[in-house]
Structure 1
């Protein structure tokens, strides 16, 4: 095995691992958003990824993902907020003011 083929193999493995890591972060974020909406008596509608990048947070290098969270407070309206996660940790939730039933 030459050095070039080893570099290509390691690159493919790294890309596959990062894809698997991003899928895990997405699944965690969906569960978190669902749980957050249940705790605050909201109806979870959808979660869509807006941006993904590698970033440093508190000295740790990981994926910083910003999601668009769509929810409803009464079932007939829809609001859009943002949720920011860093790895498997939600670091920010920004929801607009919504009507309380």
Structure 2
């Protein structure tokens, strides 16, 4: 095994690990958004990834992902907010003012 093939193999392994990491963060985010909407008596409609980048937060380097959260308060209207995650932690939820039934 040459040094070049070892570098290629490690690059592929790192890429696969990061792919699974992003999938895990995505699944956690959907579950968190769904629970958040239930607690606030809102209807969860969808969650879409708006941006993904590697960033430092509190001295830790990890994925910073901003999601677009779509929800409804009455079932006939839709509102769009944002949810910011850093790794498997939600660091910010921004929801617009919505009508309460």
The TM-score range, normalised by the shorter chain, is: over 0.9
Q: What per-residue deviation string (whole Å, max 9, x for no partner) do you get for residues 48-71 of structure 1?
A: 000000000000000000000000
| In structure 2, distance between residues paired with 1:10 and 1:54 | 19
- Any gaps of 5 or more consecutive residues in structure 2? none
- Any gaps of 5 or more consecutive residues in structure 1? none
Aligned length: 101
| In structure 1, distance between residues paired with 2:18 and 2:3 | 22
| In structure 2, distance between residues paired with 1:20 and 1:91 | 21
Displacement of 1:93: 0.2
Q: Secondary structure, in 3 states, of the residue corresponding to 1:70?
A: strand
Give the match for residue 46 of structure 1. Answer: 46
Aligned CA RMSD, in angstroms, stands at: 0.2
| In structure 1, distance between residues paired with 2:42 and 2:35 | 10
Please give the TM-score of this superposition, normalised by the length of structure 2. Answer: 1.00
Q: What per-residue deviation string (whole Å, max 9, x for no partner) do you get for residues 4-60 of structure 1?
A: 000000000000000000000000000000000000000000000000000000000
Please give the TM-score of this superposition, normalised by the length of structure 1. Answer: 1.00
Give the match for residue 30 of structure 2. Answer: 30
Displacement of 1:79: 0.1
Q: Secondary structure, in 3 states, of the residue corresponding to 2:61?
A: strand
